[in-house]
Amino acid sequence: MRSVRGVSGRGPAPGGAGTGGRGRVAAGLGSLLAALLLALVPLPQGATAATAQNSAGDAAKNSAGNFAENSAVTKTGTAGPYDDFSKLKVTVHQTKNLRGQGVRVTWTGGRAAPTGATYNNYLQIMECWGDDADQGPDRTQCEFGAVDGAPAGGGRLVSPTRDPLDTDHATDSDNIAFVPFKPVEGAATTTGTDWTYFNSLDTNSQTWLPNDSDGNGETVFEMRSSVESPHLGCGARTTASGAVRPCWLVVVPRGEHETNGTEGNSGSVRSSALSRTNWNQRLVFPLDFLPVGSTCSQDRAERRTIGSELITDAMTSWQSALCGSGAGRFTFTQSGEGEARERVTAPSDTSPGLGFTVQPVETAEDGPPVVQAPVAVSGLTVGLYWRYDVTVGEGSGAYIANRQLHDVRLNQRLLAKLLTQSYQKSVATADYLPDYLKTNPESIGADPEFQKLNPDFPAASGRTYSPWGLLLSTENSDMATVLWRYVQQNKDAREFLSGTADPWGMKVNRSYQDMDLDATPLDYFPKADPTTSKASCGTPENSLPFDGTDLVPYTNDMHDAAQKVRNGYGGQLYLCAQSGAGWKLSGERPAATNAREFGIVDAASSTRYQLDVAALPNADGAFVKPTSDAMLKAVARMPDSAVAGVKTPDPATADDGAYPLTAVVYAASSVDQAKDARQDYAKVIRYAAGAGQTQGTARGELPYGYAPLPAALRTQALKAATTLETWTAPDPSGTPGGQDQDAEGSGGPGGDGGTVSGEDAGSAAGGAAASGGSGGSAGAGPDAMDTGRPSVAPRDPAKENVAASGGLTPSEVIGLVRWVLLGVLVVGGAAALAGPVMLRLAARRVPAGG
């Protein structure tokens, strides 16, 4: 069983943008992955054109399910001995270039499933391995049978007395018939309830997908590579020639009859999909996974990179293409942006030579210059998978329909409520609820403000069919600061955080009232409420305590949050379960029809796992989703940070269709590196700005969910590569350093070659002042940003005039002066660098192909 346990007091990471001294939340982390990344140059002030190559149709592509259709496969069912599936057509909407991700599956032509407590006319879906290209997998090679709350059809037990065709089953020590699971490597399971390889809380099989009233249906299936499911080995198994062996998606339709022709107990069909008669009706889809693991020779020099989760998916994709460039072997460690900035400015002998960040790097007073450049456009989303039941029709013709909630709208005050554990179910069970929350809604679905913004969600469903809370990452990050800033820029949200009740009487959880959250943009998400509930384990002395971090656990990172949202289970722990060591806390994963989760997820992961995303109000008060077009509009409106040319996210400037939680990821690299290392990192930059901006699902392409870099930023990136690879150290005679005279391209110490921050370059640290404030558009209504909280550092008018006149940018002017001074310091022997610092434990080493 896997679970994520949160710890309530967190604080800023070294070099991060946070404020306050709260202890950092401990949490398990990470999954492996080897990848790459790049060093880049910021856009000069004013070059904000939002024109991007490969951007046609991006808005559609960024909507889950609308891309990669060129590998969609449709198959038709057949007539069975008791049920006729010959009109059933099932489509798997992506079958090639797969990785760990969500894939849309739709079907038509079935019979309507009944309502109430009768369970028939449904589909069951599972992922399998196997090498028989003609027949597909054997039933022993499929991950299935860990019942996930489904009312029927789960399990690996079979009954030969009820299925005359089931003659090749196994039996356990009690002579109970079952179908064992045989993994790619390792021993087969020994009973029908042997969960050595998967269990009900972590399986990706879907055992209960009822047809709708028209006999149709739709789901998103979570495909898993060997990174997520080693027992299936998808993407890691290869032929002698090195080709990746296929995996399989198996769909088993269920009708109205059991395996012996009867109509089942009370009309419900409960036998396993693995029972031979049912298995014979399967539809089999071959799946081509991308190769997992690094193809780069271990003999190559390792080029380490580190930084923002916003770049993880892109780096993972680009790595294999970079391996073919003849450069070093690029690896990537995901960490908070503050950690990346510190590795760049205070390196040790083994520190990564390239860091990825959202806020600019501030160099030490006597430290070497740092090149900073834009490499990707992404952002934060609220990713959702939320199903509910609703009564359709009236009188005798009324029936219960299960539906998925789409097109959710959230405003800043609702986000403030979620970020402060202000709903009852995010803190405690009813018997242990503190008095200060008893007048607040149980959950967001029961909040009149949410219901007003989302009138399609029936108010009667609010208490029962609603997530308990918002899944949040443990990582300190620049984007956490951006989200807090976005909330604080809205008057209604700010007043709520300061203690003012909303129009319906709801107040902020008082555990947060002394944290100055109406003004201080943290770089983390605290869980400050200490309330403890107890799970009864039969006797009072065996009861187990749990709190808000168990009811709404932290996630390891935003990718982990996306997976949990996709599965409809966030890892809640509030029930007692027996274990070898006694009682322990456990949870219960709902069936797919009862799934409801949402969380803060980066745009690439939301798209990767095909999540619905909430529309958020921008500076105009218009509700906007994170399409490529909306993110590029936000980039075009972003102000510079204190380092001219390095843009800073500012939700207050995101108007006229711009998405407010957009960010530009910057690569930062010190010029104080060996020439061969700088040349290798320059190759990363060139690839990222060139072929790496072509969107697609193949290795080397830009994953969907990112917006392709605008043309101006791509040009800057290419010039940044030249600046980095051809940089020369300052001459002791006092001549400033810069680009080699023989090198192509322009740029001295900064120049068109990119932004270079140094001793007096005015780079902003990753704090609130650089995170973007509300110094932009006036709000238009209660959900817009107001303009009472400027946060972007004021600029020197003289420097603005220099930039506007077409001369050197402010960072260029300062760069020249800085290097003259550094030349003198070199003569005097006074230059110094910061000492080594350990990489923080929370960094995520990303496995190649993940």
> Is 194 a domain residue?
yes
The Cα–Cα gap between 147 and 270 comes to 12
Helix (H) or strand (E) holding 579: strand 575-579
Tokens of 77: 């069912």
User: Would you say residue 4 has pLDDT above 70?
Assistant: no
Query: According to the 3-state scheme, what is the secondary structure of 350-410?
Result: CCCCEEEECCCCCCCCCCCCEEEEEEEEEEEEEEEEEEEEEEECCHHHCEEEEEECCCCEC
Q: What is the mean pLDDT of residues 251-261?
A: 96
The Cα–Cα gap between 665 and 310 comes to 7
Listing DSSP states for 34-53 in one string gives --------PPPTT-----BT
Average pLDDT score over the chain: 82
One-letter amino acid of 17: A
> Is 276 a domain residue?
yes
pLDDT in tens, 8-29: 334 444 343 433 333 333 334 3
pLDDT higher for 256 or 348? Answer: 256
> Is 157 a domain residue?
yes
Q: How confident is the model at residue 48 (pLDDT cuts 50, 70, 90)?
A: very low
pLDDT higher for 786 or 782? Answer: 786
The Cα–Cα gap between 849 and 632 comes to 28
The Cα–Cα gap between 277 and 169 comes to 13
For 107, the 3-state DSSP assignment is strand
Q: How confident is the model at residue 60 (pLDDT cuts 50, 70, 90)?
A: very low
Q: Which of 101-105, 358-362, 612-616, 725-729 has the lowest mean pLDDT?
A: 725-729
pLDDT in tens, 615-651: 999 999 999 999 999 999 999 999 999 888 899 999 9
The Cα–Cα gap between 826 and 620 comes to 52
- 810-828 vs 797-804: helix axis angle to the nearest 10? 110
Q: How confident is the model at residue 66 (pLDDT cuts 50, 70, 90)?
A: low
Residue in the structure block whose two tokens are 């001074």? 821
Tokens of 458: 């029936």
Tokens of 466: 């609603």
> Is 46 a domain residue?
no
Q: How confident is the model at residue 813 (pLDDT cuts 50, 70, 90)?
A: very low
Q: Which of 319-333, 545-559, 598-612 has the lowest mean pLDDT?
A: 319-333
> Is 302 a domain residue?
no
* Among the listed residues 34, 17, 52, the one whose alpha carbon sits nearest the alpha carbon of residue 717: 52
> Is 254 a domain residue?
yes
pTM here is 0.82
What is the β-pairing status of strands 302-307 and 329-334? Answer: parallel
What are φ and ψ of residue 453, in 5° steps? -75, -20
Given a contact cutoff of 8 angstroms between Cβ atoms, the answer to whether 625 and 612 are in contact is: no
Residue 792 DSSP symbol = S
Q: How confident is the model at residue 758 (pLDDT cuts 50, 70, 90)?
A: low
Q: How confident is the model at residue 239 (pLDDT cuts 50, 70, 90)?
A: confident
Q: What is the pLDDT of residue 305?
A: 96
The Cα–Cα gap between 583 and 846 comes to 34
Give the CA radius of gyration of the chain: 28
Domain total of the chain: 1
User: Would you say residue 289 has pLDDT above 60?
Assistant: yes
One-letter amino acid of 839: L
Q: What is the mean pLDDT of residues 421-444?
A: 98
Q: What is the pLDDT of residue 829?
A: 41
> Is 421 a domain residue?
no
137: containing domain: 98-289
Given a contact cutoff of 8 angstroms between Cβ atoms, the answer to whether 549 and 8 are in contact is: yes
Q: What is the pLDDT of residue 571?
A: 96
Q: How confident is the model at residue 848 (pLDDT cuts 50, 70, 90)?
A: low
Q: Which of 306-315, 404-413, 654-663, 744-753 has the lowest mean pLDDT?
A: 744-753
Helix (H) or strand (E) holding 723: helix 711-725
Q: What is the pLDDT of residue 558?
A: 98
Q: What is the mean pLDDT of residues 752-774?
A: 44
What is the β-pairing status of strands 354-357 and 302-307? Answer: parallel
Q: What is the pLDDT of residue 240?
A: 83
Given a contact cutoff of 8 angstroms between Cβ atoms, the answer to whether 359 and 333 are in contact is: no
Contacts of 811 (CB under 8 A, 6+ apart): 643, 644, 645, 750, 755, 756, 757, 761, 762
For 623, the 3-state DSSP assignment is strand
> Is 225 a domain residue?
yes
What are φ and ψ of residue 253, in 5° steps? -80, 145
- Chain-centroid distance, C-alpha 74: 29
Q: What is the pLDDT of residue 736?
A: 61
Q: Which of 73-87, 562-576, 768-782 has the lowest mean pLDDT?
A: 768-782
Tokens of 241: 């020639």
pLDDT higher for 365 or 210? Answer: 210
